[in-house]
Amino acid sequence: MFNNFKERNLTLLTDFYELTMAGGYFENGMSEQIAYFDMFYRKNPDNSGFAIMAGVEQMIEYLTNLKFTEEDIEFLRSKKMFSEKFLQYIKNFKFTCDVWAVPEGTPIFPGEPIVTVRGPLIEAQFVETMILLSINHQSLIATKANRICRAADGRAVMEFGSRRAQGYDGAIYGARAAYIGGCAGTACTICDRDYDIPALGTMAHSWIQSFDSELEAFTAYAKAYPQNCTLLVDTYNTLKSGIPNAIKVFNDVIVKEGFRPRGIRIDSGDITYLSKKARKMLNDAGFEDCKICASNSLDEYIIRDMLMQGAKVDIFGVGERLITSYSSPVFGGVYKLVALENDGRMSPKIKVSENVGKITTPCFKHFYRLFDKESNKAIADVLTLRDEVIDENKPYEIFDPQNTWKRKTITDFYAKDMQVKYIEKGRLIEVLPTMSEIKEYASDQIDTLWDEVVRFENPHTYYVDLSQKLWDVKNCLINQAKI
């Protein structure tokens, strides 16, 4: 853990205006001004009912290794924009902020502060690009992966997208996010080494074509890997040659070696039809335990339709439409200033827009999720001022901050603070979970959502409410901004 950013200097992987603002803050004597920034997003990808938080580990890795090298400073000097005093300042730059974030694997909703940064204005502003890059990308892929895994209805989904990802970081971190979202493993070998995500795979069509016959290719592979043999059966003719040859090799090689075949893979044709025929052929041959794997430009809708039509597929290999979130390729997280601190006093900040969805929520906040005590299902999320505490022993009124007449009083609930403080004064203070722990946590947390929120089509809107005190502050600032 944390080797990647030590080996790679990514300090200048930032929007240039972060540097011009940093220089401007410095020249105006604002380098020690304490600021609060929130990251949040405005819309769920694919019109989903929720998204899944991911990328926190990489964000932390970047923040805790952040420094300017001599090469960085020389490059900035060559731009002839920055003063020598500012360049000397960043020469000794060290990230000293506090950082709170929602744990990876948590279901999240629009408008919530999924990351909060508090510290010197220059530092908190400068890290905007990499926070957004880390969280936006992996949250997007984790969300898409979870949709695909839910469509598979308990069947394993393998992430097969390395060759179609947008760059090698997209392949690696995309596979990591897909595992958080529910995938059983990946085709990306380096993710097994670095993140303990099971790497699986068998053969390509080129293996079959490299031999004089399909039967010879299957035999050679089976002899090499008798304990882990899955054969690709659609190179020439799935039903007339592929499956019959696979069955012959299973009998002549695998069974005689004392093993059972793992499976067959179908990568083309009408997979629903072929899988039904394949299942019968395998069962008739005594290989009821032989799994059928399907691949070829799959997504949640194709998988759902295949299963509705009776496809006999046990494992889905999903590539390009998962690793690129093909149907909804942008996770629109933003990073906004919400408060400044002067002599211990908070000064809330707001961005006002004619587009109501772009009006920000000011102040340093708590982010609570309210759960029903009897069902343990999530009722709603509530943002409060930082000094507010929700009393679980009293009825609590929640209301829609857009339509304030929509109000509901809830009882028999408990409140969970959804942010964890990971970094204090620039240092990691939490033990980060393993990948398997994150994946299990994600599954458990999604189970706390009602089916109406989780469904694919027209999901129920999950409410993210403001406390009355926070709403009053926001409404006051909006009124003050009116011209």
70 in the same domain as 54: yes
pLDDT range class, residue 407, cuts 50, 70, 90: very high
Residue listed under structure tokens 């200097």:
9
115 in the same domain as 202: no
433: pLDDT strictly greater than 60: yes
Q: How many domains does the chain have?
A: 2
31 in the same domain as 87: yes
Greater confidence (201 vs 323) lies with 323
319 in the same domain as 411: no
17: pLDDT strictly greater than 70: yes
Alpha-carbon gap, residue 333 to 470, rounded angstroms: 22
Note the pLDDT of residue 90.
Answer: 96
Tokens for 165? 């990802």
311 in the same domain as 377: no
Tell me the CA end-to-end span of the chain in Å, nearest whole number. Answer: 52
User: Could you tell me if 335 and 39 are in contact, meaning their C-beta atoms sit under 8 angstroms apart?
Assistant: yes
Q: What is the pLDDT of residues 234-267, one digit of tens each?
A: 999 999 999 999 999 999 999 999 999 999 999 9
153 in the same domain as 129: no
309: pLDDT strictly greater than 70: yes
Give every CB contact of residue 396 below 8 A, 6+ residues apart in sequence: 370, 390, 409, 410, 411, 413
8: pLDDT strictly greater than 90: no
437: pLDDT strictly greater than 90: yes
Note the pLDDT of residue 3.
Answer: 56
Q: What is the pLDDT of residues 332-364, one digit of tens each?
A: 999 999 999 998 899 999 999 888 889 999 999
Across the range 374-398, mean pLDDT stands at 96
Note the pLDDT of residue 138.
Answer: 98
CA proximity to 261, closest of 234, 231, 295: 231
Q: What is the pLDDT of residues 28-52, one digit of tens each?
A: 999 999 999 999 999 999 999 999 9
**Last residue within a domain, chosen from 303, 323, 343:** 323
Q: What is the pLDDT of residues 186-216, one digit of tens each?
A: 999 999 999 999 999 999 999 999 999 999 9
222: pLDDT strictly greater than 80: yes
Q: If you average pLDDT over every residue of the chain, what do you get?
A: 96
303 in the same domain as 188: yes
160 in the same domain as 127: no
What letter does residue 2 receive in the DSSP assignment? Answer: -
324: pLDDT strictly greater than 80: yes
Q: For residue 351, how many other CB atoms are within 10 A of its CB? A: 15
* Alpha-helical regions (H) of 92-227: 121-126, 128-151, 168-181, 189-195, 205-209, 214-224
Note the pLDDT of residue 357.
Answer: 83
Between CA 49 and CA 425, with CA 467 as vertex, the angle to 5 degrees is: 85
pLDDT range class, residue 483, cuts 50, 70, 90: low
337 in the same domain as 254: no
% the chain with pLDDT above 70: 99
**Last residue within a domain, chosen from 323, 343, 366:** 323
For residue 212, the enclosing domain spans 148-323
- CATH number for the domain spanning 391: value is 3.20.140.10
CA proximity to 421, closest of 445, 394, 386: 386
User: Could you tell me if 107 and 446 are in contact, meaning their C-beta atoms sit under 8 angstroms apart?
Assistant: yes
209 in the same domain as 135: no
Alpha-carbon gap, residue 279 to 48, rounded angstroms: 34
Note the pLDDT of residue 313.
Answer: 98
The type of residue at 351 is: K
285 in the same domain as 211: yes
CA proximity to 145, closest of 324, 293, 314: 324
224 in the same domain as 92: no
Note the pLDDT of residue 7.
Answer: 72
User: Could you tell me if 26 and 85 are in contact, meaning their C-beta atoms sit under 8 angstroms apart?
Assistant: yes
Alpha-carbon gap, residue 328 to 127, rounded angstroms: 26
Q: What is the DSSP string of 350-403?
A: ----SSGGGPPP-SSEEEEEEEETTT--EEEEEEEETT----TTS-EEEE-SSS
Note the pLDDT of residue 355.
Answer: 84
- CATH number for the domain spanning 300: value is 3.20.20.70
285: pLDDT strictly greater than 80: yes
**Last residue within a domain, chosen from 323, 354, 375:** 323
CA proximity to 360, closest of 382, 328, 338, 333: 338
Across the range 294-300, mean pLDDT stands at 95
286: pLDDT strictly greater than 70: yes
